[in-house]
Structures are given as C-alpha cells and as structure tokens.
Amino acid sequence: MAAKARQVSNGIRALSNTARGAPVQLLRQSIQACVLSVLCYGAEAWWPGATRMEKGKEISNRMDCLVRKLDLALRDALRGALPVYKTTPISALHRELEIMPMKETLDNRRAVFAVRIKKLDKRHPLVRRSNKVATTKPYTTRLSRASSHAGGIEAYDPLLTPPWMRFPRKEDLQIGYVAGRTKEQAAQDFKSWLQQRNPLDLVVFTDGSQIEHPQRATGAGWAICWGSEHRLISTGNLPMDKAEVFDAEAMAALQGLKEATTSPQAKFASNVYICLDNLEVARALGSVPNTSSQQVFAQFLKAIKAWQSRDRLPLATQSRVVIRWVPGHAGVAGNEKADLEAKAAAAQAASASMVPQPDSIGTLAYIKRHTMEQTTRAFENYWAKNRPKRYMELEIPLKRASTEVKLSRFTLGKLYAARSGHGDFAAYHSHLKHEDAECYCRCGHSKTPEHFYYCTLARKAAKRRRPIYNLRETLATSRGALEFNNWLRETAFYQNICPMRRRAPPDQIPQTILSSVLPPSSSPPPPPSSLSSPFFPSLPSFLSASPTSLPQT
C-alpha cells in the first residue's frame, strides 16, 4: 500500500513547486481521494489500534513500524502539495493541509466503522459476530473490540422503513414556515395564527436545550396552554443522557403530546397543536425517518392514534394533531416557557447525579458527534505535542476549514515560509551553509521572516505604512493571510524589492556563458572594478555597452 501511495505522491510532486503549479486546494483533494484511500484500504479489517487492553493493562499491538511506512508515503504527498521547503516541520504540513497523521487517520477509520456496525440490521452477519460472546481465548476479537469502541446505542432498525416506502415529509407551508421572513415578522404571524384557534383546543409548546458547562448535557421541556387567553395549565421537562438537541426536540414533542392526551382538558378539545422551533424535527414528525431517535418518531405515531381514540365529549369532533413551527426566542410566551423547562432539564442532566456512564445508551446523533470529537481531540493533542517553535511563538492554532488554501502557490509559499522560518532568509541560509545565497534585501537589511512587514521600500511601494493587521494576526489568521496576499500584490515585495536571487556580478559569471554570448572581438570585456554597481541590470546591456554608459542602481 505504501509503495502504491508513493507512486501517486510522486505524481503530485511533479505537478508543482514552491512558486507555481497546481492549486493547493485541488492537490489536497487529490491526496484525500488518491493517497489516503490507498493507505487506508481495508483498514477496518487490519488496523487493531495502536494498543489494546488485556487483563487491565494497556498492551502495544506492535503496529508502529507499519505506521511509520505509511507516514513516509503520506509526507511525500504533503510536501508535493504544499509550496514549502523540504526542511519544513512535518507537523506544519499536517496543519496547513488539515490532514491528520496516519495513526490518527486509521483510528478515525476504525471509529467510523464502529458507528457503521451500530447502524446495521441486527440480523446482519457483522452484528451477530460482534455480539457473539467467546468462551475460549481470546475472549475478544478484533471485530468485537472495534464494535465496542462506539459504546451502547439506542434501538435502531435501518429496515424499519423500507427503501421503496417513503413517508411524505411535511412541506414548509404546512408547518407555517416561510423562508425569508424576519424573526419579528414570523413571531407576529404566529401570534395572529394562534389567536384564530379554537379556545378549547390544546396548544403544546416544546423545546430542547443543550449546555456545555460544567459538561455537555441535554434536556427536553414542554408547556401546555388552553383557553381563550392560552393560559398555562401544565409544564414538564426530561433530562436526557447522551443525546443531542435534535433528540431532545423529538422527545419533548412526544412527551408533550402524551401529557396533553391525559390532561383533564383533553375531553373538551378537538385538536392539539404541537408548536416547536426546530424546523428539521417539525418536518419529520408524523413519519419514521432513518435518523437519530427513530423509535421516538415511531412512538409519536402511536401517540397520535392515542389522541384520536381518547375519551372526549360530543362537542369535540375533529381530533387532529397539527405540527406548527414557531420562531424561537422571539417573545412567544409558550415557547419561552418551554425553553426555560428545557434548560432546567439540561442543568439537571449536567449535575453529579446525571454524569454519563461508560455503559449507558446514546442516541445515533450523539455517537456520531462523539466520534468526530474524539478525532478532533486526537489531532489537537498531536498538534499540542509537535507544534513547531515558530508556530508556538506566533500562537497559530490548529485551523479548521480555512479559506487560505485558495490563494496562489506563490503567496502561500511565502506565507508558509514566514510562519515556519524555513525559507529564503539569512538565518536559514547561514544554518545550512548556503555560500551562494543572497541574504540581504535591497533596503540593506538582512532577510528575516518578518522583514516584509517592516521594509521601508515596501511601504513606499504600497503607499501606506504597513498591512492592516499586526504581524502576528497577519501570519496566524485566515483574514491575515488575505491581507498578506493583498500586501504582496501591492508591493511586489518578493519579486522586485526582496527577490530570492539577484543577477550575479560580472566576475562571477562563468567564462563559458560569457563566451557563448560575447560578440567576436579581440578586446576583452571591461573589468568589474569599472562598474559603479555590483549587480547586473541585464546581461545583454552589459555586453553591448561601455562601462561608463551602464545605468546606476
């Protein structure tokens, strides 16, 4: 696999260099599609993780040698895609392309595979094998260990709704949502609609909430209103463990409908209106989608039938359950009360008595988000341990979904060089003992990663003092990268003011080159000492002009 990936990496390296070539954004896509797919081929079957637990101890799976081989192939592709010097730190390459090292990438493939197993039908062979309890050593298999990586998950059946059978999703107009309206206008329209309802009908406001501190927790809340003034007659909430806001919204709608069905006012009401501010849940209620909280949506269908078959007075005729979207946090009293109940439930779930247990059951949405968070956390830990010194000094964080890769290769090459310190700089050339390097700018100062910001010639060329942002912000942020691009475009700094190499003095031009371009003449070229400038303005003008007619530089 590593050899095949290296062939692709060599092709990527041939497409560009540090100044010109294919766009970085497209080469990043090619790495993901052509290199990582080869390196991770079949990883779900052969990657057991770096370590495993045995008899309460963490034991190495001895996969380090394989990971190193795969990492080398990936690094070749990263260096070919980025306009960087070959001495640029490896961690900087991973950061700039937002591609994780092989160990973290393989762990992510294994975690995603675990979630896929949890989504399979219970009769699937993989599910049967992963749940099989072994009676002889080894008591766990690679498949069972991978499956347990995702933890417990809610009851989910992908075949509950056959692929050829589709439940009609509610249209936006059916639930009262009109795109393009402001929140204030939507709230006013909802209040007008609410005033036109039968005073005997029940209105159930539901909401879900999630808090981050002291730990992530979710809660569902509902509030039931009745009468001509739609006064509050009942409220309730439910703390939820290992769930997302989507799940809480669906659960709140279910519990609110159940409580409305058993309320004393239910026998007087003809209809019940479920009002919630989550548009996606509002569209899905009344069907059984193959999403998270699938069983909750199935129970909601049963709750609708329970409402229609309840005991009621003869004056209650229709017995419909109507789903209605309400704008959140827009001053609707019932929605605000449901929101308070949901927040109270989330706070209760976050308390010490509701700390999530490792063996507790999570919803499908929670398992997916938890897997993504684990992957992100692993990448962040790698970055914290291997961040280059220059990146640490500039406080450059681990970026996500940055837009700077859309810039030209030339601009990105200069930006990455300024960030890492590995580029056409005096200290870099001195460290590597480059004897023929040009270490000074035309302004007379030594080349440094920060010199573009302070160079007086660049300020004169740009006709402004310096870039909009300070130096750290210019080098460390995406908006600073855009300003860096504008600054280079205005000043042509690395082309005219501080180029990588200047034309060599005449005494340093090889004699073979001079003889090939000199016109046949018995007189030798003028001596270098007669020139007033140590640099050539251009080679042909030197060969055709006298020393006194050369332009002064």
When pLDDT is cut at 50, 70 and 90, the band that residue 541 belongs to is very low
Distances in Å between the Cα of 491 and the Cα atoms of 456, 487, 498 are: 11, 6, 10
Residue 118 has pLDDT above 50, yes or no: yes
Last residue of a domain, one of 342, 359, 376: 359
Specify the pLDDT at position 146.
Answer: 85
Distance CA 281, CA 243 (A): 15
Q: How many domains does the chain have?
A: 4
When pLDDT is cut at 50, 70 and 90, the band that residue 552 belongs to is very low
Asked if the structure places residue 127 within a domain, the reply is yes
When pLDDT is cut at 50, 70 and 90, the band that residue 547 belongs to is very low
Average pLDDT value over all residues in the chain: 85
Instruction: Check whether residue 144 and residue 221 sit in a common domain.
Output: no
Instruction: Check whether residue 44 and residue 74 sit in a common domain.
Output: yes
What domain range is 524 assigned to? 506-549
> pLDDT: is 146 or 84 the higher one?
84
What pTM value is reported for the model? 0.80
409 φ/ψ angles, rounded to the nearest 5 degrees: -65, -35
Instruction: Check whether residue 225 and residue 330 sit in a common domain.
Output: yes
Segment among 83-87, 103-107, 117-121, 160-164 with least mean pLDDT = 160-164
Instruction: Check whether residue 6 and residue 149 sit in a common domain.
Output: yes
The H or E element containing residue 153 is strand 152-153
Instruction: Check whether residue 449 and residue 543 sit in a common domain.
Output: no
Last residue of a domain, one of 457, 473, 497: 497
152-174 pLDDT per residue, tens: 888 888 888 776 766 666 677 88
Instruction: Check whether residue 211 and residue 350 sit in a common domain.
Output: yes
Instruction: Tell me the mean pLDDT in the region 175-184.
Output: 89
DSSP SS3 for 492: coil
Asked if the structure places residue 158 within a domain, the reply is no
Specify the pLDDT at position 354.
Answer: 56
Residue 220, beta-bridge partner list: 208, 238
When pLDDT is cut at 50, 70 and 90, the band that residue 365 belongs to is very high
Asked if the structure places residue 8 within a domain, the reply is yes
Specify the pLDDT at position 546.
Answer: 39
Instruction: Check whether residue 493 and residue 512 sit in a common domain.
Output: no
389-398 pLDDT per residue, tens: 999 999 999 8
CATH (domain of 253): 3.30.420.10
Three-state secondary structure readout of 357-386 = CCCCEECHHHHHHHHHHHHHHHHHHHHHHH
Specify the pLDDT at position 243.
Answer: 93
Asked if the structure places residue 215 within a domain, the reply is yes
Instruction: Check whether residue 197 and residue 333 sit in a common domain.
Output: yes
Instruction: Tell me the mean pLDDT in the region 363-381.
Output: 93
* Residue % of the chain over a pLDDT of 70: 86
Instruction: Check whether residue 149 and residue 251 sit in a common domain.
Output: no
Asked if the structure places residue 292 within a domain, the reply is yes
Distance CA 294, CA 202 (A): 26
Specify the pLDDT at position 522.
Answer: 45
Asked if the structure places residue 86 within a domain, the reply is yes
Residue 366 has pLDDT above 50, yes or no: yes
Instruction: Check whether residue 512 and residue 490 sit in a common domain.
Output: no
Asked if the structure places residue 382 within a domain, the reply is no
Specify the pLDDT at position 493.
Answer: 93
215-231 pLDDT per residue, tens: 889 999 999 999 888 89
245-270 pLDDT per residue, tens: 999 999 999 999 999 999 999 999 98
Asked if the structure places residue 403 within a domain, the reply is no
In order, the DSSP letters of 274-325 are EEES-HHHHHHTTS--SSTTHHHHHHHHHHHHHHHTS---TT-----EEEEE
Instruction: Tell me the mean pLDDT in the region 28-38.
Output: 94
Residue 346 has pLDDT above 60, yes or no: yes
Last residue of a domain, one of 479, 497, 515: 497
Residue 197 has pLDDT above 70, yes or no: yes
Instruction: Check whether residue 440 and residue 314 sit in a common domain.
Output: no
Instruction: Check whether residue 492 and residue 522 sit in a common domain.
Output: no
In order, the DSSP letters of 212-252 are -SSS-EEEEEEEEEETTTTEEEEEEEEEESS--HHHHHHHH
Residue 209 has pLDDT above 90, yes or no: yes
